Chain A
Amino acid sequence: MLLRGKAHKFGDDVNTDYIIAGKYKFKTLDMDELAKHVMEDLDPEFHARLAPGDFVVAGRNFGCGSSREQAPLALVHARVGAVIASSFARLFYRNAVNTGLPVVECDTCLISNGDELQVDLDHGEVLNLTRGVTVSAAPLPPFMQRIFEDGGLAAHVRKHGGYCLGL
């Protein structure tokens, strides 16, 4: 699958409270409502500037903090194409795969705010169209790849009647 969009660059240790603050997530299951507040505490204008398919790009330890699945879901509902980071916190990474948000782990040093990117999820490559450089990404572990391909954990469990390691 090929994705294309503009990079919105953030730093290291972007935590789940920054992705969606606790004060919003306890009120509603309406993810479109939560999506309006995504990244608000780091950048109040983020949602207004975001075009569908754009990428959140960050440094180390993206998604550290809480187990809230509202974080990847709010990004999905804000129509973020994928999150590209140097590394992810384990709970966020797992929740993202479970909920169908593409997460790409690669060196993000060569990506600046506003760069045009093309992400090849099947081959694990990020092409920076603005700079003309390609960075290869760490593949999803095989079992997580299967969950993602099944359309998330709910679809996986429905399809197999439970977990299907099948390795």
Chain B
Amino acid sequence: MAEKIISSHSGTDARAGDIVIANVDFVMGQDGTSPLAIKAFRDMGGKKVFDPSKVAMVIDHGAPSPNEGTANLHRLMRDFAKEQTFVVYDVGEGVCHQLMPERGHVLPGDLVVGADSHTCTYGGIGAFSTGVGSTDLAATLITGRTWLKVPQSMKIVLKGRLPVGTYGKDLALYVAGKVTASGATYMSCEYCGEVVDRLGVDARLTLCNMAVEMGAKAGIIAPSDEVLSWVRSRSGRTPRPVFADEDARYTDVREFDVSHLAPQAARPHQVDNVCDVQDLSSVEIQQAFIGTCTNGRLEDLRVAASILEGRTVCRSVRLVVAPASRQVLLAALHEGILEILLKAGATVLPPGCGPCVGTHGGVPADGEVVVSTANRNFRGRMGNPAAEIYLASPATVAASAVTGRITDPRGFLG
């Protein structure tokens, strides 16, 4: 799939290992990377972005701004977007990786670059999308192109039927544990199999989001009918879906039967340090966090609410929830999810990335343990190197918030 999308965007018969220059369908930057990109844009002699309708910047990592330094960088972005007449999603709109598919900027078959490593998320709807740095972003803003080494493809086949209580996040963690943090370096991870075929849009985005945690350049899933109707309802453009050929070449094929997969968690401080949640039942927590570009979507909040309804968060635990976007927040409001979360004792933050990346909104104290739905548990990730972060699904995080220990959610589900 990667070779086909890159071929159609570069006018070549792109094969793994080739270096090509490809046209991009959309370009994204966030507030941690855009200010440097604006600087590089000027440094390159840039005057105009190639096409303002194909560019967006998102203020999400420090939103609302926690200090004057961040506030000034946000102003730099707003001024640049105004000058160049492209859209800036400001404070409260949401996390970049939720907004790009949700607002119809990215479609199946597209080639997208974003200055954030989790840009690989849009592979969940069948796009080839990859993260770049600020200087690469600037060069793309000027030229409308990027250079790519065409990645090799790793096929990850998920067979069987996903058991009750396990979700897309459990699949993502399980695969990361098996493939390891560098096992897919520079590859395009193509997820398929009957389990993947049945996944909804939200879970597909979760799975591809974590491809970069294995070193991958991209994660990608062939779009289902549900995905195609989801994107058609959001964009005026016509999707050009791409599917793998019968005789497609793969460098590596990994098959996993997940029919008996238990809920998974990653232990500190490595994403691939994965085990069954039930092995962690003695681990006490002080904070639980539901949100991020991995698991802050409506389906995630719904699952959490189904566990928290009629229950309360343990007194020794702070449950922090950050919906992935304003649309997710509004939908959660209309469905009554927010009321359930708030009654249970959750603190609901504005849509954004703050706690995940340690800028603000839930920095743990020294020695504290956090269970989070994010994609990274590196030391210091949430702002304090003396804290410990475990990664798990929204169901596991919600169940853990109730008991005060890392808890297998299966006992909480009807």
In this assembly, does A132 line the interface, its C-beta being within 8 Å of a C-beta of chain B? no
Question: Are A162 and B182 in contact, with the CB atoms below 8 A?
Answer: no
The answer for the CA separation of A87 and B381 in the assembled complex, in Å, is 23
Q: Which of A61, A90, A95 has the most CB of B within 10 A?
A: A90
**With A21-B380, A26-B359, A158-B45 in contact, is A89–B132 under 8 Å at CB?**
no
Q: Is A128 an interface residue (CB 8 A)?
A: no
Report chain A residues within 8 Å CB of B358. 21-23
Q: How far is the CA of A20 from the CA of B7 in the complex (A)?
A: 36
Residue of B nearest to A72 (CB): B133
Distance (whole angstroms) from the CB of B209 to the closest CB of chain A: 13
Interface flags for B126-150 (1: CB within 8 Å of A; 0: not) read 0000011111101100110101010
Whether B217 lies near A28 (C-beta < 8 A) is no
A94 near B136: Cβ-Cβ < 8 Å: yes
Interface residue A113 (Cβ < 8 Å from any Cβ of B) = no
Q: Report Cα–Cα, A50/B408, bound state, in Å.
A: 46
Which B residues touch A13, using CB under 8 A? 181-182, 270
Alpha-carbon distance between A95 and B136 when the two chains are bound, in angstroms: 8
Our pick among A64, A141, A162 for the contact of B181 (Cβ within 8 Å) is A64
Q: With A68-B33, A143-B19 in contact, do A91 and B182 touch (Cβ < 8 Å)?
A: no
Inter-chain CA distance A18–B377, complex, in Å, is 12
Per the 8 Å Cβ criterion, residues 70-99 of B in contact with A are 70, 73
Bound CA span A65–B136, Å: 17
Interface size class of A (residues with CB under 8 A): 35 or more
Per the bound structure, the CA–CA distance linking A128 and B133 in Å amounts to 32
B359 neighbours in A (Cβ, 8 Å): 22-23, 26
Q: Which residue of B lies closest to A89 (CB)?
A: B215
Closest residue of chain A to B353 (Cβ to Cβ) is A22
Q: Are A26 and B133 interface neighbours, CB within 8 A?
A: no
- B132, A65: Cβ atoms under 8 Å? no
Q: Are B145 and A163 in contact (CB under 8 A)?
A: yes
CA of A17 to CA of B379, assembled, Å: 8
Question: Which residue of B has the minimal Cβ distance to A73?
Answer: B36
Which residue of the partner chain A has the closest CB to B46? Answer: A157
The answer to whether the Cβ of B49 comes within 8 Å of any Cβ in the partner chain is: no
A26-70 vs B: 1/0 string, CB under 8 Å? 111100000000001110000000000000000011001111111
Residues of B within 8 A of A94 (CB): 132-133, 136
Q: Please, which residues of chain B bring their CB within 8 A of the CB of A41?
A: 379-380, 385
**Which B359-393 residues have C-beta < 8 A from chain A?**
359, 363, 376, 378-381, 383, 385
Instruction: Using CB atoms, name the residue of chain A closest to B42.
Output: A154
B380 cross-chain contacts in A, Cβ below 8 A: 17-18, 21, 23, 41
In the complex, A165 Cα to B217 Cα: how many Å? 21
Residues of B within 8 A of A87 (CB): 182, 185
The yes or no answer to B186 lying at the interface (CB within 8 A) is yes
Known contacts A17-B376, A64-B182, A165-B147: A154-B36 contact under CB 8 Å: no
Which of B61-69, B154-162, B250-258 forms contacts with chain A? Answer: B61-69
- A141: contacting residue among B19, B36, B381, CB under 8 A: B19
- List B contacts of A91 (CB < 8 A): 117, 131-133, 212
B317 within 8 A of A: no
- In angstroms, Cα B386 to Cα A53, docked, is 30
Nearest CB in chain B to that of A88: its residue: B185
- Determine whether B280 belongs to the interface, using a CB cutoff of 8 Å to chain A: no
Is B40 at the interface (CB under 8 A from chain A)? yes
Known: A22-B359, A23-B359. A65 touches B117 (CB 8 A): yes
- CB–CB A153/B135 < 8 A: yes
Across-interface contacts of A28 in B (CB, < 8 A)? 69, 73
| B19: contacting residue among A15, A40, A165, CB under 8 A | A165
User: In whole Å, how far is A152's beta carbon from the nearest beta carbon of chain B?
Assistant: 7
CB pair A61–B378 under 8 Å, yes or no, is no
Taking the nearest CB of chain A, how far is it from the CB of B41, in angstroms?
Answer: 9
A157 contacts across to B, CB distance below 8 A: 44-45, 139, 142-143
Residue of B nearest to A60 (CB): B182
Q: Which residues of A contact B383 (CB under 8 A)?
A: 21-23
Residues on A lying within 8 angstroms of B by beta carbon are 13, 15, 17-18, 21-23, 25-29, 40-42, 60-61, 64-70, 73, 87, 89-91, 94-95, 98-99, 141, 143, 152-154, 157-158, 162-163, 165, 167
* Beyond A23-B380, A26-B61, A90-B217, 9 extra complex contacts between A and B, CB < 8 Å: A15-B378, A18-B378, A18-B380, A27-B70, A29-B35, A65-B117, A69-B133, A154-B138, A165-B21
Supply 17 A–B pairs (Cβ within 8 Å), ascending by A: A17-B376, A26-B31, A27-B67, A29-B39, A61-B181, A65-B376, A67-B33, A67-B117, A67-B131, A67-B133, A68-B33, A87-B182, A91-B131, A94-B136, A153-B135, A157-B142, A167-B19
